Structure 1
């Protein structure tokens, strides 16, 4: 057997799951609904993508959690893991095969959702949807999906039970999205950074806060979607408010935001694999 065999078998089993159908169905329905509803308020489909990006920023990591958190922990809990590794599979082939399988489903969900959204936009909007803008949006969202799938599969690799894997995954979501971004009114990362600066007698500048905030894969995703609105940022006030700025701060650079998302996916998975490689499976 091999990484390909592990991924193929896991994908075959996963695609028959109601969870997989639910992930693809919910994501497609919600994205299509947002695009359809925005047609009553805006003539340009790319304005709907702005609203879709905030929907995905908040909910996509939650939607794909059931798809990923049991990828390895579920096999360990049921004893299937011993059988899988009893075959001629290395632990690396097993872990990365699981990643390829679950990531494949998540990426397929994104592609299907955006393809349906494009089809929905064609007859509804005054101005025709741009294939290029939809393609750029889809590409950035695919990398966003990779970042969280990597984090979640890593949690599944380091935990020994379903309940711990579930708590770890949902804890990662709340830490990386609402806490890091600053949605919680008092206890959030920006406030903690400011508090730490006050205790040390230093002032944390707004630009430093922005860079720290951008180190979350979710925040990096929102910033990276700026590439979708090249040449039309000033057409809508809400888009301009989020992407118009002076100078070229690091957190607004496309390469930086893409690197942040890639680093979370690759880095967390490597940490998870190293822990899994040393763990006792008995």
Structure 2
């Protein structure tokens, strides 16, 4: 019950501080801009392609917005001293961390759903036919993506004692996922196999399946796999690509890109599990630091 109380208070505080409205306004504005550009320049674009196009900017903005929403969730309470008042009431430190995760996830979730309601309305208004299934699947994928980055942000917020460290943690993490994850995976591949993977990976130069699994541990990569499966269209990952990275292009069957049979951990459902893990694991690790932290 204490977890629900903390979550409700955190969500209400976000509404009062206009955090929710700002995030919703950002996502709605982005969708209006994208749809307006598509309608102006393309005009008769098939509505079924809209979901795949919409996925491109949202997969960059939503993680960044979720990190901003979550990184001050607990460390902000510590800086203001209100954490002492909160913990003098029934909620425990565990309740605070779990409640903050739920509250901030609620903020991100409501903003994403509001944006997709606008997307459905604009699709019907500008293009006639509404791909409800595709937009609903894309919304589900973005909810998982947003919640994953909220988990990362809340984990950092629980683990550190200053705003600067929390900000440095989430910014560094975002940059690694966005620009350097493939380099890390390529380096591991070089250490294990003695050579860098071919770039790009192709049926003529397949890769070890474990390397592709490491690539998909990046939540942005996992999101791409989940989103592609839910809307039945290829959703490319907007991350930086390097010649020494694990870069897979094209929509050929996965069997053509990996050595041997495709293991279960390269299936679409396992990428959803990866996103769920990013929601839970960082928060748990942050809690381990927070439960023994000196709040004095």
TM interval, shorter chain, is 0.7 to 0.9
User: Per-residue deviation at 1:147?
Assistant: 0.8
- The corresponding residue for 2:240 is none
C-alpha distance after superposition, 1:109-130 (max 9, x if no partner) = 110111101111112226x122
C-alpha distance after superposition, 1:63-115 (max 9, x if no partner) = 22221110000011111111110112111111111111110000011101111
Q: Is 1:277 aligned to residue 279 of structure 2?
A: no
Q: List, as ranges, runs of 4+ consecutive aligned residues in structure 1 with deviation greater than 6 Å.
A: none
- The corresponding residue for 1:268 is 282
Given that 2:141 and 2:227 are in contact with CA atoms closer than 8 Å, whether structure 1 keeps it comes out as: yes
C-alpha distance after superposition, 1:202-226 (max 9, x if no partner) = 6766244322211111110011111
Given that 2:7 and 2:102 are in contact with CA atoms closer than 8 Å, whether structure 1 keeps it comes out as: yes
3-state SS in 1 of match to 2:291: helix
The 2-side partners of 1:246 and 1:266 are apart by: 28
Could you say if the C-alpha distance between residues 246 and 279 of structure 1 is closer, same or farther in structure 2, counting changes exceeding 3 Å?
closer
C-alpha distance after superposition, 1:30-57 (max 9, x if no partner) = 1232233224435323322212222122
Matches within 5 A, 1:1-282: 2-39=2-39, 40-41=41-42, 43-125=45-127, 128-180=129-181, 182=182, 188-197=183-192, 201=194, 206-208=207-209, 209-230=211-232, 242-247=250-255, 249-250=262-263, 253-282=267-296
C-alpha distance after superposition, 1:112-161 (max 9, x if no partner) = 111101111112226x1221221111111111111111111000000101
User: Per-residue deviation at 1:243?
Assistant: 3.7
Given that 1:35 and 1:49 are in contact with CA atoms closer than 8 Å, whether structure 2 keeps it comes out as: no
3-state SS in 2 of match to 1:64: helix
Given that 1:226 and 1:243 are in contact with CA atoms closer than 8 Å, whether structure 2 keeps it comes out as: no
Structure 2 unaligned blocks of 5 or more: 198-205, 235-248, 256-260
- Structure 1, 270-279 or 112-121: larger mean CA deviation: 270-279
Given that 2:28 and 2:118 are in contact with CA atoms closer than 8 Å, whether structure 1 keeps it comes out as: yes
User: Per-residue deviation at 1:191?
Assistant: 3.4
The structure carrying a bigger helix percent of its residues is 1
Structure 1 unaligned blocks of 5 or more: 183-187, 234-240
Given that 1:68 and 1:153 are in contact with CA atoms closer than 8 Å, whether structure 2 keeps it comes out as: yes
3-state SS in 1 of match to 2:63: helix
Give the TM-score of the pair, scaled to structure 2: 0.82
Given that 1:197 and 1:203 are in contact with CA atoms closer than 8 Å, whether structure 2 keeps it comes out as: no
User: Per-residue deviation at 1:189?
Assistant: 2.0
How large is the RMSD of aligned CA atoms in angstroms?
Answer: 2.2
Give the TM-score of the pair, scaled to structure 1: 0.86
Count residues with an aligned counterpart: 265
